[in-house]
Amino acid sequence: MRKITMSLLLGVSFFIVTVASSSVIAKDTRPNVVIIITDDQNDYGFYDVYPGTEIPAIDEFRKTAVTFKHAYTASPVCGPSRAAFFSGLYPHTTGAYRNGSDPWRKSELLRKAETMPELFKRAGYTTFGNGKLYHAKLEEGREKKSWHNKPFAGGFGPYPPVKDRIAKEGEPAELKGAQKFWGVTEWTDPDSDFPDVVNADKSIEFLKQDHDKPFFMVYGLWRPHTPFTAPKRFFDMYDPKKITLPRGYLDGDLSDIPPYGQMLSKIWGERWLNAGKGEEENWKRILHGYLAATTFADWNVGRVIDAVNESRYADNTIILIWSDNGFHMGEKNHYEKATLWEAAAHVPMIMRLPKFKNKGKVVKQPVSTVDVYPTLVEYCDLPKLDHVLEGKSLKPLLEKPSRRWDRPAITSYGEQAFSARDERYRYIRYPSGLEELYDHKNDPFEFQNLANDPKMKKVKERLNSWNPKQWAKSLGGRKG
């Protein structure tokens, strides 16, 4: 009996030790991921592009993270940019070039591609998303495959009253089409009227919870996208008398631009007529609204970052802040995005690694937003995908920010409409074969098109070698 009892005790002890050891081994130590997406945020405030732009929360975050000085969107409009980001596939592969193209339903490749949140959920992460995420409807059932929660969106509002919208004297303020959304309002009602505030609150609540698995969280803001509406205190941070026109504006700047480029600059032509050259007061008022909306977005971003920093997840969380595209504020006689110039293609992008590795460092090599997906796959040890990711993992640059990079960042907007950006030059080639080339070392605002300079032949050939060999047929969509 004694022998049986001892054997039984030894067996039980072995079982307990084995289970305990298995629990230690089974504990998932992969990093959490928090992605924050601002909407239509250009590089004002990030560099010396428009001095005086107030983004204190992001400025503080940069001290703890790696900044990508030359980060570029795969497409200069919201929906296609996000489709590329979340799928890891370029627009020239999927055909998703324009807003309104319904990419997740019309593109066979995007229907089959496993999106970033779908992969994280399959990999055992708790997934949580709120706000502006895809800017397009997913096929039925894909939301459940992506998120453990039911994402709340909210929309672009609150909208300004008609009296606060920009129009020329004598014209109705509601105007045609999208012009009516260019309202500028110092909002005096509760902050909670804004979806960005509601979604930040939801994100903060999620970060305060105890999670027994690593999590993947996406917070998508609607600002600083139009309408330029923000709580009054953010307008008060800027003195209207000190607001100046953008440094990137030059009268006559389109004189050396090919017809296709000039066409893109006129996509929202009525906006330039109402708030461009000759309408400087309106122009400055719109700038005031954009700056206030940018600082309002920064405030919400800061609240979520603070929640991560104050949580027990701070040291083991990757945080990425990026914007889906840049934004013209009069550069090239243009408002909004939907061009292949620097103002529309250049985006803020900052990533913080666990334990703040390489904090405060700057990567100068050109990178693309499609590079994020393979980067997270590598850092989070995610399972293999069925489709090939077209980006390149940024891990080598994050681990050694001074490392050289072997390729430019490419952006497209329509079939055969392509740009490539290396550390110094931006090259643009339109469907007609006409070109633009800018030397950012000597011409940071792209005032002088060097495409016809014989000395630039080799530069053009090198950058044009990255022009895709195959172009997917466009899924359609609207002009901007």
> Comparing C-alpha atoms, which of 106, 170, 161 is closest to residue 138?
106
The pLDDT of residue 179? 61
Lowest-confidence region among 13-22, 153-162, 255-264, 385-394: 13-22
pLDDT at 25: 46
SS3 content of the chain, % helix, strand, coil (to 5): 40, 15, 45
Contact 286, 329 (CB under 8 A): yes
Q: What is the DSSP string of 430-479?
A: -TTS-EEEEETTT-TT--S--TT-GGGHHHHHHHHTTS-S--PPP-----
Higher pLDDT, 384 or 181: 384
Do the Cβ atoms of 238 and 288 come closer than 8 Å? yes
Q: Which among 97, 31, 26, 85 has a CA at the least distance from the CA of 418?
A: 97
For 397, the 3-state DSSP assignment is: helix
How far is residue 198's CA from residue 181's CA, in Å, rounded to a whole number? 21
Cβ atoms of 124 and 212 within 8 Å: the answer is no
Identify any residues that bridge with 182 across adjacent strands, giving them in sequence order: none
Q: How far apart are CA 375 and CA 480, in angstroms?
A: 30
Q: What is the pLDDT of residue 12?
A: 43
Rounded average pLDDT over 322-348:
97
The pLDDT mean for the chain works out to 91
Mean pLDDT, rounded, for 35-45:
97
Q: What is the pLDDT, as a whole number, of residue 433?
A: 97
- Phi then psi for residue 308, to 5 deg, are -65, -45
Mean pLDDT, residues 169-188: 72
Strands 317-323 and 335-336: unpaired
CB 251 within 8 A of CB 66: no
Rounded to whole angstroms, what are the CA distances from 466 to 334, 419, 421, 429? 27, 9, 10, 11
DSSP conformation letters of 199-236: HHHHHHHHHHS--SS-EEEEEEEEEESSSEEEEHHHHT
% of the chain with per-residue pLDDT over 90: 79
- What pLDDT score does 13 carry? 45
In this prediction, residue 177 carries a pLDDT of 52
The pLDDT tens digits of the residues spanning 267-302 come to 888 888 888 888 899 999 999 999 999 999 999 999
| Domain 29-464: CATH class, spelled out | alpha beta
What does DSSP assign to residue 88?
-
Q: 170: pLDDT confidence band, cut at 50, 70 and 90?
A: low
**Share of residues in the chain with pLDDT > 70 (%):** 91
pLDDT at residue 376, as a whole number: 98
Least confident of 49-53, 69-73, 410-414: 49-53
- d(C-alpha 159, C-alpha 227), whole Å: 6
Count of positions (residues) in the chain: 480
Mean pLDDT of 138-142: 77
pTM: 0.92
Higher pLDDT, 13 or 370: 370
Query: 101-115: per-residue pLDDT in tens?
Result: 889 999 999 999 999
Could you give the CA distance from residue 275 to residue 219 in angstroms, rounded to a whole number?
A: 32
Rounded average pLDDT over 132-147: 85
| 1 vs 329, residue with greater confidence | 329
- Position 79 scores a pLDDT of 95
- Which tokens go with 18? 């084995």
Please, what's the b/e burial string for 215-246 (b: 16 or more CB within 10 A of its CB; e: otherwise)? Answer: bbbbbbbbbbbbbbbbbeebbeebeeeebeeb
Cβ-based burial of 306 (10 A; exposed 0-12, middle 13-18, buried ≥19) = middle
What is the per-residue pLDDT for 11? 46
Place 445 in a pLDDT band, splitting at 50, 70 and 90. very high
Mean pLDDT of 347-374: 98
DSSP state of 240: G
Q: pLDDT band for 181, please (50, 70, 90 cuts).
A: low
Both tokens assigned to 45: 């405030």
Look at residue 2 and tell me whether its pLDDT is greater than 90: no
| Catalytic (active-site) positions | 78, 135
Give yes or no for residue 147 having a pLDDT over 90: yes
Report d(CA 217, CA 369) in Å as an integer: 18
With 70 as the cut, is the pLDDT of residue 172 above it? no
What pLDDT, on a 0 to 100 scale, did the predictor assign at position 175? 60
In contact, 335 and 289? CB cutoff 8 Å: no
| One-letter amino acid for residue 408 of the chain | P
Whether the CB-CB separation of 141 and 115 falls below 8 Å is answered with no
Residue 223's pLDDT band, with cuts at 50, 70 and 90, is: very high
